[in-house]
């Protein structure tokens, strides 16, 4: 029987690299965030990372931090994030949806309950950037039991031992952080990115996607030649923040990325 994680895996069997946008649920408000996420998929996004707002998002730069603060002020909680998945499925959004958030709110909600409820809502997996694999056994086990993807992160500073551990545990894909630092659009890619991706591939048992600091179609195309997937978040938040019609603006940008890939 097909499991939620299988839909993530299937994305990487297409001819081109997968495009994986990130967007914060509840920014600039709940309804507009759903419009933006739907527009991403309608314009070719293959998987969407749904940002679950948290008061202390350690991995995120100022752009995403600001969006999560606004979302929190808008009353976005874990139950509301799960409702967003249900609402997106009701709109006909079929692409895999991955809940991206931090450990504390999930722990407070209940780890197994979070996994069970996320699956029931129609989500496909989780990315928890502040939960290292050495400490993730409980959530990892619940995800495996319920067929949900659990995507771990690697950074340029990761040791070979950490790469080996993440390779054994990551399901769906492995998320490579392209730079040492926080999320945010940058002017250029790391000069050592190709060596880094190649090195991780020596360990990885899943496809590898690269995120953090990618903001243009040209950068996406370059990363797409190295990796199986490209993640962009901060640029989408900036576009939505400045736009009169966020869904239209972000949708057009997503199309430009997909075309470049």
Structural domains of the chain in order of their starting residue, each with its CATH number: 15-151+223-260 (3.20.20.70)
Q: What is the pLDDT of residue 178?
A: 84
Neighbours of 201 (CB within 10 A): 17
Q: Which of 46, 49, 87, 249 is catalytic?
A: 49
The answer to whether the CB of 52 falls within 8 A of the CB of 25 is: yes
* Confidence grade of residue 182 (pLDDT, cut at 50, 70, 90): low
Q: Which of 46, 60, 87, 140 is catalytic?
A: 60
Non-local CB neighbours of 255 within 8 Å, separated by 6+ positions:
43, 44
Counting every residue written for the chain, the total comes to: 261
Q: What percent of the chain has pLDDT over 90?
A: 86
The pLDDT tens digits of the residues spanning 203-238 come to: 999 999 999 889 999 999 999 999 999 999 999 999
Alpha helices in 58-159 (DSSP H): 62-73, 78-90, 103-109, 111-121, 137-145
| Element of type H or E holding 179 | none
The verdict on whether 117 is a catalytic residue reads no
Q: What percent of the chain has pLDDT over 70?
A: 96
The verdict on whether 225 is a catalytic residue reads no
* Cα gap 74→199, rounded to integer Å: 42
Q: What is the pLDDT of residue 147?
A: 98
Q: Are β-strands 48-51 and 97-100 bridged in parallel, bridged antiparallel, or unpaired?
A: parallel
* Confidence grade of residue 184 (pLDDT, cut at 50, 70, 90): low
* Average pLDDT, integer, range 121-137: 96
* Confidence grade of residue 56 (pLDDT, cut at 50, 70, 90): confident
Q: With 80 as the cut, is the pLDDT of residue 183 above it?
A: no
Strand-by-strand arrangement of the 125-127 sheet: 149-151, 125-127, 97-100, 48-51, 18-24, 229-232, 208-211, 174-177, 153-154
Q: Which of 249-259 are b and which e, b meaning 16 or more Cβ less than 10 Å from the residue's Cβ?
A: bbbebbbebbe
* Average pLDDT, integer, range 87-110: 97
Q: What is the pLDDT of residue 67?
A: 95
């Amino acid at each position: 029987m097909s499991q939620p994680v299988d839909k993530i895996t299937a994305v990487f069997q297409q001819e081109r690299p997968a495009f994986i946008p990130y967007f914060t649920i509840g920014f600039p408000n709940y309804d507009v965030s759903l419009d933006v996420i739907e527009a991403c998929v309608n314009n070719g996004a293959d998987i969407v990372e749904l940002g679950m707002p948290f008061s202390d998002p350690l991995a995120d730069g100022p752009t995403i931090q600001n969006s999560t603060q606004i979302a929190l002020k808008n009353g976005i909680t874990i139950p509301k994030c799960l409702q967003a998945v249900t609402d997106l499925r009701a709109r006909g959004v079929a692409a895999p949806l991955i809940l991206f958030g931090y450990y504390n709110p999930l722990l407070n909600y209940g780890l197994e309950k979070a996994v069970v409820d996320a699956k029931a809502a129609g989500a496909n997996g989780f990315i928890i950037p502040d939960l290292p694999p050495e400490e993730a056994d409980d959530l990892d086990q619940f995800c495996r039991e319920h067929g949900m993807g659990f995507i771990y992160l690697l950074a340029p500073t990761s040791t070979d031992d950490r790469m080996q551990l993440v390779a054994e545990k990551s399901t769906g894909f492995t998320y490579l952080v392209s730079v040492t630092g926080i999320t945010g659009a940058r002017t250029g890619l790391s000069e050592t990115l190709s060596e880094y991706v190649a090195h991780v591939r020596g360990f990885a048992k899943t496809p590898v996607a690269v995120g953090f600091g990618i903001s243009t179609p040209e950068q996406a195309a370059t990363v797409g030649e190295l990796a199986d997937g490209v993640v962009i978040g901060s640029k989408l938040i900036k576009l939505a923040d400045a736009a009169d019609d966020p869904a239209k603006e972000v949708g057009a940008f997503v199309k430009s990325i997909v075309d470049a890939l």
